[in-house]
Structure 1
Amino acid sequence: MSQTNNSSNVIAAHEQIVHFPKGQKPSLGPNEWFIWSGDVNKDEDKGANFQLPDLEHGKSKVLVPFSWWITHNKEADIQSKAKAGQIGVWFAADDDILKHADVIEAGKKVWPLVAAHFPIFRDGRSFSTAALLRDRFAWTGEIRAIGDVLIDQLLQGARVGFDSFALRPDQKLDVALKQFDLFSVTMQNTWRDKRATLSI
């Protein structure tokens, strides 16, 4: 399959990922995933000519838009790359994932990673996407926050189901890791654990 690339077709992310798996401590790791915006050939035919990007800077894996996956997932090379752990999907804030439950159920067998996109930090719809994936779809794999992800969103994201974060490139990673220790007591049940029981 031929591929194309253009820096305008990339969703920017920090070169390191904040990982916070359930039951573990937060840590940093290299960002191996190219986040493709899917805007290549946007005004052209979105059939067979709508191509995956070339990967660069040592990245060998690509997150594609869920809307692109719906159209192209039957292609043999796409399925083989996904099964090999090279393709995952990201959900836009306005994707109706409940409407595509069958696609997501099938995707659970092949996607090594899913992500939810924050178009701007104050748009919280992707928190709901993560919660639905955990609760309704029983997704047990990694869910990553991408897009305009700020340090201030980490704790809330971790509570609803995110376990990795591709922060905006200008965010400070040393400060990010400290966010998860800000509170020792939680007053609500979360995806990670039950609320704290306080003795009076």
Structure 2
Amino acid sequence: MTEVKVWTEQGFVANDPWQIVEFQDELPEGDVIVPLEAFVALSDEQRHGVGLEPGRNTRRIGVLISPDDEPETIADMLGQIALVAIDFPKFSDGRGFSHAAMLREQLGYGGEIRAVGDVLIDQIPLMRRVGFDSFSVKSATTLKRLEEGRPGGISLHYQPTAKDAQAGQGYSWRRRSA
């Protein structure tokens, strides 16, 4: 079985409480991430019965967005969502980048956005730029590089980003990674 670890800019997360589940009739105990369709199908009572803060006695709920999903479906519910996980079933499917950017820039989501699935080391700096906060990593190479403190990245970018950036020196159209 492949080891899966959650990484943030601060390092690896010990004892990550989140579990991705398929919603049946009842949600299991603990902090859960359910597919978008299942979250929308939850009753108001089920959605409001969960807490957003980790120290509370109620469970937190997150939403799993797949490449074919439309994040704007939950725009009016974002205040009830503690974590949005965006699935990358294949590293070559970049729709998750657009989903994260939409959540941050257009929908104003301020909670945690997590990349799950086929997350590779080369993608992490770019994912951070569009708004991802955490990464569920199972690639041995990616885990090794992150453990060594080498997340990689490109220091100069032409385009603006969801994450704050410093203006480049000499050219107003260049941005330095923050």
1:127 correspondence with 2:90: no
Q: TM-score, normalised by structure 1?
A: 0.70
* Consecutive unaligned residues in structure 1, runs of 5 or more: 1-11, 21-25, 41-48
Q: Is the 8 A contact 1:188 1:195 kept in 2?
A: no
Which amino acid in 1 is paired with 2:154? F
Shift of 1:188: 2.3
Q: Which amino acid aligns with 1:170?
A: A
Q: Give the partner amino acid of 1:120.
A: K
Name whichever structure is richer in strand by fraction.
2
Letter paired with 1:33: W
Per-residue deviation at 1:137? 0.6
Distance, in Å, in 1 between the alignment partners of 2:169 and 2:163 is 18
Alignment map for 1:105-144 (pairs within 5 Å): 105-108=76-79, 110-144=80-114
Alignment partner of 2:64: what SS?
Answer: strand
Structure 2: unaligned runs, 5 residues or longer: 53-57, 172-178
Contact 1:85 1:111 in 2 (8 A): no
Deviation track 1:41-81 (CA, whole Å, cap 9, x = no partner) reads xxxxxxxx5443x46xxxx311000110111243x244313
Q: 1:143: how far off?
A: 0.5
Q: Distance in 1 between matches of 2:19 and 2:96?
A: 19
How far has the Cα of 1:172 moved from its partner? 4.0
Amino acid at match of 2:11: S
- 2:20 maps to what in 1? 35
Question: Following the alignment from structure 2 to structure 1, what is the Cα–Cα distance between the partners of residues 8 and 121?
Answer: 13
Choose the corresponding residue for 1:79, options 48, 58, 72.
Answer: 48
Higher relative contact order (CA 8 A, sep 6+): 1
What count of residue pairs does the alignment treat as equivalent?
162
Query: What aligned pairs does 1:172-187 form with structure 2 within 5 A after superposition?
Result: 172-176=142-146, 177-180=149-152, 182-187=153-158
What is the correspondence of 1:33-112 to structure 2 with a 5 Å cutoff?
33-36=18-21, 38=22, 50-52=25-27, 54=28, 60-74=30-44, 76-83=45-52, 84-98=58-72, 100=73, 103-108=74-79, 110-112=80-82
8 Å contact from structure 1 (residues 151, 167) kept in 2: no
SS in structure 2 of the partner of residue 89 of structure 1: strand
- One-letter amino acid of the counterpart of residue 97, structure 1: P
User: In 2, Cα distance between the equivalents of 1:172 and 1:145?
Assistant: 13
Q: Give SS of 2:169's match.
A: coil
